[in-house]
Amino acid sequence: MRVAVTILGFALLVSTAGASGTTLSARDLAATLAARQDGTAYVRLRLEIKQPGDTTKISLQLQIKERRTKTASDLVYQVLWPKERKGEGVLLHKTAGRPPSGSLFTPPDKLRSLDSSQMNDPLFSDLSYLDVIEDFFTWENQALVGTEVLKGASCVILESKTGKAESSNYGRVRSWIDPNRLVPLRIEKYLPSGKLSRRIETTRVATDDKGRPIPANLTVQGPRENSVTDLDGSRIKHDVTFSDREFTPEGLKEVSAPNGSPE
The domain segmentation of the chain, as residue ranges, is 10-253
* Beta-bridge partner residues of 186: 176, 201
pLDDT of 49 over the 60 cut: yes
Residue-wise pLDDT tens digits, 204-250: 999 888 888 999 999 999 998 888 999 998 789 999 999 999 999 99
What SS3 class is residue 41? Answer: strand
Per-residue model confidence (pLDDT) at position 211 = 87
- The whole-angstrom separation of Cα 79 and Cα 104 is 12
Phi, psi for 241 (deg, rounded to 5): -95, 120
Mean model confidence pLDDT for the chain:
88
pLDDT band at 23 (very low <50, low <70, confident <90, very high): low
Give me the helices (H) in the chain, please: 10-15, 26-35, 129-133
The beta strands (E) that lie in the chain are given as 39-51, 55-68, 72-81, 89-95, 101-106, 110-114, 141-150, 153-161, 172-178, 183-190, 196-207, 213-221, 228-238
Is the torsion defined by CA of 129, 135, 141, 147 positive or negative? positive
Q: Rounded mean pLDDT of 186-212? A: 94
- The whole-angstrom separation of Cα 205 and Cα 200 is 14
Per-residue model confidence (pLDDT) at position 5 = 41
pLDDT of 262 over the 90 cut: no
Residue-wise pLDDT tens digits, 96-121: 888 899 999 999 999 999 998 999 99
pLDDT of 258 over the 70 cut: yes
C-alpha separations of 206 from 104, 171, 183, 212, 217 in Å: 31, 31, 10, 8, 8
Percent of the chain with pLDDT over 90: 71
What SS3 class is residue 126? Answer: coil
pLDDT of 52 over the 80 cut: no
Q: Give domain 10-253's CATH number out of 3.40.50.1000, 1.10.10.10, 3.40.50.300, 2.50.20.10.
A: 2.50.20.10
pTM of the shown model: 0.88
Per-residue model confidence (pLDDT) at position 53 = 65
- The whole-angstrom separation of Cα 202 and Cα 185 is 5
- The whole-angstrom separation of Cα 7 and Cα 27 is 20
